[in-house]
Amino acid sequence: MLHLEDDWAFDPEAGSFLRDSLAVLAENPSCFQVHLRHRASSVHPVHATELRTKDGVAYRRLLYDWAAGGDEGLRWQGFSLGPGLRRLSHIRALGDLETYGSEIHVQAAFKSFGLWAAALEHGVLEHTGDNYSQRVVWESSTTRAGKVV
How sure is the predictor about 138, in pLDDT bands with cuts at 50, 70 and 90? Answer: low
Residue 60, C-beta contacts closer than 8 angstroms, at least 6 positions apart = 39, 46, 47, 49, 50, 51, 118, 119, 121
* Each residue's pLDDT tens digit, 68-89: 665 566 778 888 878 888 898 9
Q: Which residue type sits at 94?
A: L
**What is residue 149's predicted lDDT score, i.e. its pLDDT?**
41
- Check the CA dihedral 38-40-43-47 and report its sign: positive
Q: Name which of 63, 55, 44, 67 is nearest 123 in CA terms.
A: 44
102: pLDDT strictly greater than 50: yes
Collapse the DSSP code of 133 into the 3-class scheme (helix H, G, I; strand E, B; otherwise coil) and give the result: coil
C-beta separation of 66 from 46 below 8 A: no
Phi, psi values for residue 127, rounded to 5°: -80, 125
* Each residue's pLDDT tens digit, 15-39: 788 999 999 999 999 999 998 887 7
Q: How many C-beta atoms lie closer than 10 Å to residue 129's C-beta?
A: 9
Across the chain, mean pLDDT equals 80
61: pLDDT strictly greater than 60: yes
Number of independent structural domains in the chain: 1
Query: Of residues 22 and 43, which shows the higher confidence score?
Result: 22
C-beta separation of 134 from 141 below 8 A: no
Mean pLDDT of 94-117: 84
Mean pLDDT of 133-138: 58
- Helices marked H in the chain: 17-27, 88-94, 103-112, 135-142
Domain assignment of residue 8, given as a range: 2-148
How sure is the predictor about 144, in pLDDT bands with cuts at 50, 70 and 90? Answer: very low
| DSSP structure class, residue 81 | S
With a pLDDT cut of 70, the percent of the chain lying above it is 79
